[in-house]
């Protein structure tokens, strides 16, 4: 066994990515403070061909060298928008027909393994601040909360790690 060379991976160019079909989901960032996390979200959005990312509140947007350090250029491929208010961004998505889910530990949340979004309806996933999580007023207007089961001593995963876990589960359901 050997590692593949970059040339053997058949990755899309930035232009091919922009023209490609995307999976039916949007990523919403609610006041993410770490620029490394923002960059990691761009890489995840690229890997899973997100329709777009919406950077809300004080979430920093590109261009920024600290985002680029972890995004490795994915910020040039993924469509993104900046919104001052996460609540307004979520309400707009709902008007556009999206099912919106906060990724949060909350009363009545759905464990990720039981998450079954309505087929043929696009989803938006809201990821919250590294300390405070998704804002309560945003959770109030979401269609539900998705929770990742955890078995250790910490209360949560790193927010960008959560994105990889949740979005892979969503993609798996869209591949079958």
Flag whether pLDDT at 38 surpasses 80. yes
Of the pLDDT bands very low, low, confident and very high (cuts 50, 70, 90), residue 161 is very high
Of the pLDDT bands very low, low, confident and very high (cuts 50, 70, 90), residue 110 is very high
In percent, the amount of the chain with pLDDT more than 70 equals 99
- CA pair distance 71, 92, nearest whole angstrom: 27
Tokens coding 101: 């889910």
Q: In what order do the strands lie in the sheet with 52-56?
A: 80-83, 52-56, 25-30, 123-128, 99-103, 144-147, 110-111
pLDDT digits (tens, 9 = 90+) for 116-152: 988 889 999 999 999 999 999 999 999 999 999 999 9
- β-partners of residue 102 are 126, 145
pLDDT digits (tens, 9 = 90+) for 75-85: 999 999 999 99
Report the chain's mean pLDDT, rounded to a whole number. 95
pLDDT digits (tens, 9 = 90+) for 6-32: 889 989 999 999 999 999 999 999 999
Class of domain 25-145: alpha beta
DSSP 6-67: GGGG-PPPHHHHHHS---SEEEEEES---HHHHHHHHHHHHHTT-SEEEEETT---SS-HHH
Amino acid 176: pLDDT: 66
Q: Is the dihedral of CA 56, 62, 64, 66 positive or negative?
A: positive
State phi, psi for 114 to the nearest 5 degrees: -100, 0
């Amino acid at each position: 066994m050997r590692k593949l060379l970059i040339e053997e991976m058949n990755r899309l160019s930035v232009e091919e990515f922009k023209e490609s079909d995307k999976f039916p989901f949007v990523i919403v960032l609610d006041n993410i403070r770490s620029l490394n996390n923002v960059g990691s979200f761009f890489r995840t959005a690229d890997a899973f061909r997100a329709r777009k990312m919406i950077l809300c509140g004080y979430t920093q947007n590109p261009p920024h060298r600290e985002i680029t350090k972890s995004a490795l250029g994915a910020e040039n491929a993924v469509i993104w928008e900046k919104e001052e208010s996460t609540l307004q961004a979520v309400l707009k998505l709902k008007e556009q027909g999206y099912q919106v889910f906060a990724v949060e530990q909350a009363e009545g949340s759905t464990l990720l393994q039981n998450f079954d979004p309505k087929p043929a309806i696009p989803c938006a996933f809201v990821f919250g601040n590294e300390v405070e999580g998704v804002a309560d007023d945003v959770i109030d207007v979401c269609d539900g909360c998705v929770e990742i089961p955890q078995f250790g001593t910490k209360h949560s995963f790193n927010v960008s790690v959560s994105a990889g876990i949740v979005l892979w589960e969503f993609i798996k359901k869209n591949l079958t």
